[in-house]
């Protein structure tokens, strides 16, 4: 991992806006992340161990290999300035909500916690992101404990939202791709397929 002085000399890509329009689900995710950011690390341990709403993180955390937990992302924002930024649309705060990549492409997916705009910051591929982020979580309950190439450890964040006193999410109309879900029963590949009724 580069030192702060080395990193300041490196070119860090600016946050790029997502190409899709902001959805109601994006706005709900922004509300969850904004509320988490305001509550901070003083939340009870059981809440800090709940996964945030995201579907792009290639890494699993802690002994149970859970999807990106609230405590880990709070730590990420506090130690890596590249995981935060300013929204080019509204001037709100952009926060990384995942990290990962493929061989040589990857970085931080995130969103503006003010307007809900999905964002992305290019940093490097899966190995680069593993090397970069692993030290952030060493010695915490959310140590990096596995990764998946070409997929993600996704979470709907419903449990965290409820713990923060927020409503359930609206349907995510863009949630149509395969993903890996992690739960008490282990990992499973989920691919939602729309089936037409026979007439």
Choose among 8, 155, 4: nearest CA to 67.
155
Encode the chain (199 residues) as per-residue pLDDT tens digits: 555 444 544 567 889 998 888 999 999 999 999 999 999 989 999 999 999 999 999 999 999 999 999 999 999 999 999 999 999 999 999 999 999 998 888 999 999 999 999 999 999 999 999 999 999 999 999 999 989 888 889 999 999 999 999 999 998 776 555 454 444 555 444 544 444 555 4
The DSSP element (H or E) to which 176 belongs, if any, is none
pTM for the predicted model, two decimal places = 0.83
Contact 125, 106 (CB under 8 A): yes
For the chain, the structural domain boundaries read 15-190
């Amino acid at each position: 991992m580069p030192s702060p002085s080395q990193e300041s000399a490196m070119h860090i890509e600016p946050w790029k806006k997502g190409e899709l329009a902001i959805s109601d689900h994006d706005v709900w995710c922004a509300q969850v992340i904004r509320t988490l950011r305001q509550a901070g690390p003083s939340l009870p341990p059981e809440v800090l161990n709940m996964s945030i709403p995201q579907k792009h993180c290639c890494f699993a955390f802690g002994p149970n290999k859970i999807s990106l937990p609230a405590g880990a992302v709070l730590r990420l924002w506090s130690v890596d300035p590249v995981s935060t930024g300013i929204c080019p649309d509204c001037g709100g705060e952009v926060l990384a909500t995942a990290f990962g990549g493929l061989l040589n492409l990857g970085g931080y997916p995130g969103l503006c916690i003010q307007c809900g705009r999905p964002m992305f910051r290019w940093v490097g591929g899966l190995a680069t992101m593993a090397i970069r982020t692993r030290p952030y979580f060493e010695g915490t309950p959310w140590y990096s404990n596995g990764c998946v190439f070409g997929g993600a450890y996704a979470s709907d964040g419903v449990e965290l939202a409820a713990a923060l006193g927020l409503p359930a999410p609206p349907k995510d109309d863009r949630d149509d791709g395969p993903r890996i879900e992690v739960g008490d029963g282990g990992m499973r590949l989920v691919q939602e397929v729309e089936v037409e009724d026979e007439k």
